[in-house]
């Protein structure tokens, strides 16, 4: 397919908007964390600290400098991959984060591989045979999963697979991982719970997007022309529903980076979301800022990607 130059200009524009948004977000993240109540130096030194010691530590940590200067130097470090030092355990934030981020991305990757194909097929099939038993079954299942808190899905999974059937370990870590089989077993429970939660949203939104295009006159025309139902949906309706579907998938996947805190807690999985919550309770500002940036970057990247897919799949958006 040949794309005109305007297409690439538009794609570049989206990237530019994403970068500007990222800059604004980093500004907001930095100053929002500054607003957290509690002084870091006082927390670090404990209750018995003298005012002189607190003042000394503040100077040593650079907390006395103006906020805008600290923001700029933080941003400068960020672009060079220097995330700063953790206040609490004097380690480089990059070292603390890298392991956790790898864990989060691994879990998110596995769930994506499992969910996206299944969810898209089910969503499109439910829309194609709207009102059939398959559609009703899918609707009832997705509405139940969406209506139920995540911790219930997770504890239910523990109850069924670990307590009653005794197939899988209840905790995903702390188990020795020696072989591929062990690894599969360790990841099975969080993956199962997350897959249910994420794919339920994806199925519902995919179904709605496809049904919306099926209801347009040009698809009706295809039906009147004598196209089969499969051809009508896959050949005529689906290309136009691609944009909204990409958007739905992006929204669901962005959840996998920051929204998985409950599943991480229930299964004791060491991911980024849990790290950030711990960091908030210790007022570890550099760590909080880096975690928040990771969530915002992943969200922006996915949304921008979905935007581009919509742009490339729909010529009318390129005028």
Partner 1 sequence: MSLALRLPTPARLGYSFNRVGRLGLAVILFWAVIAVIGPWIAPYPPGDMVDYDYFGPMSQQFWLGSDYLGRDILSRIIMGTRYTVGIALAAVILACAGGVILGMIAAVVGGWFDTLLSRFLDAFNGIPHLLFGLVVVAAVGSSIPVLILTLAAMYLPGSYRFARALAVNVNTMDFVTVARARGEGFGHIIGREILPNILGPVLADLGLRFVFIVLVLSGLSFLGLGVQPPNADWGALVRENIEGLSLGAPAVIFPSIAIASLTISVNLFIDNLPTRIRDRSE
Residue 234 CB, nearest approach to partner 1 (Å): 27
Q: Which of 262, 301, 305, 308 binds partner 1 (CB under 8 A)?
A: 262
Candidate segments 90-98, 101-109, 124-132, 139-147, binder of partner 1 by CB under 8 A: 139-147
Q: Which of 68, 163, 183, 224 binds partner 1 (CB under 8 A)?
A: 163
Of the two residues 267 and 299, which places its CB atom closer to partner 1 in the complex? 299
Candidate segments 103-111, 152-160, 180-188, 206-214, binder of partner 1 by CB under 8 A: 152-160
Please spell the DSSP secondary structure of the chain, one letter per residue: ----HHHHHHHHHHHHHHHHHHHHHHHHHHHHHHTSSS-HHHHHH-TT--HHHHHHHHHHTTTTS-HHHHHHHHHHHHHTT---B-TTT--BHHHHHHHHHHHHHHHHHHHHHHHHHHHHHHHHHHHHTTTSHHHHHHHHHHHHHHHS-HHHHHHHHIIIIIIIS--S-SSSSSS---SHHHHHHHHHHHHHHHHHHHHHHHHHHHHHHHHHHHTSHHHHHHHHHT--HHIIIIIIIHHHHHHHHHHHHHHHHHHHHHTTHHHHHHTT---HHHHHHHHHHTT-HHHHHHHHHHHHHHHHHHHHHHHHHHHHH-GGGG-
150 binds partner 1 per the rule CB under 8 A: yes
Q: Which of 10, 214, 248, 273 binds partner 1 (CB under 8 A)?
A: 273
Residue 269 CB, nearest approach to partner 1 (Å): 14
Of the two residues 29 and 232, which places its CB atom closer to partner 1 in the complex? 29
Contact pattern for partner 1 over residues 11 through 50, marking x by CB under 8 A: ----------x--xx--x-------xxx------------
Of the two residues 219 and 275, which places its CB atom closer to partner 1 in the complex? 275
CB 253 within 8 A of CB 112: yes
Interactions with partner 1, residue window 207-246 (CB under 8 A): none
Q: Which of 159, 183, 221, 317 binds partner 1 (CB under 8 A)?
A: 159
160 binds partner 1 per the rule CB under 8 A: no
Q: What angle do CA 316, 216, 309 make, to 5 degrees?
A: 35
Of the two residues 177 and 297, which places its CB atom closer to partner 1 in the complex? 297
Q: Which residues would be at the binding site for partner 1 (CB under 8 A)? A: 21, 24-25, 28, 36-38, 143-144, 146-152, 155, 158-159, 163, 254-255, 257-259, 261-262, 265, 273, 276-277, 280-281, 288, 292, 295-296, 299-300, 303
């Amino acid at each position: 397919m040949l794309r005109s130059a305007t297409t690439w200009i538009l794609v570049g524009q989206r990237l530019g908007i994403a970068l500007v948004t990222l800059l604004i977000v980093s500004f907001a993240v930095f100053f929002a964390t500054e607003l957290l109540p509690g002084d870091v130096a006082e927390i670090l030194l404990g209750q018995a600290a003298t005012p002189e010691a607190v003042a000394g530590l503040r100077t040593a940590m650079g907390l006395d400098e103006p906020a805008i200067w600290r923001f700029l130097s933080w941003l400068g470090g960020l672009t060079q991959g220097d995330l700063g030092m953790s206040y609490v355990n004097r380690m480089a934030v990059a070292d603390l984060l890298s392991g956790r981020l790898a864990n989060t991305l691994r879990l998110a990757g596995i769930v994506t591989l499992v969910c996206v194909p299944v969810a898209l097929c089910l969503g499109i099939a439910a829309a194609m045979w709207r009102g059939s038993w398959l559609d009703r079954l899918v609707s009832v299942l997705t509405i139940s999963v969406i209506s139920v808190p995540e911790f219930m899905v997770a504890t239910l999974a523990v109850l069924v697979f670990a307590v009653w059937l005794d197939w899988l370990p209840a905790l995903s870590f702390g188990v020795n991982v020696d072989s591929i089989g062990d690894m599969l077993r360790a990841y099975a429970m969080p993956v199962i719970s997350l897959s249910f939660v994420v794919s339920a949203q994806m199925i519902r939104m995919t179904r709605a997007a496809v049904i919306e295009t099926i209801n347009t006159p040009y698809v009706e025309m295809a039906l009147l022309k004598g196209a089969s139902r499969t051809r009508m949906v896959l050949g005529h309706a689906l290309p136009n529903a691609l944009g909204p579907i990409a958007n739905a998938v992006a929204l669901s996947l962005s959840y996998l980076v920051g929204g998985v805190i409950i599943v991480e807690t229930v299964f004791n999985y060491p991911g980024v979301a849990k790290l950030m919550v711990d960091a908030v309770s210790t007022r570890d500002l550099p760590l909080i800022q880096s975690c928040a940036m990771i969530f915002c970057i992943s969200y922006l990247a996915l949304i921008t990607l979905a935007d581009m897919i919509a742009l490339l799949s729909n010529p009318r958006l390129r005028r």
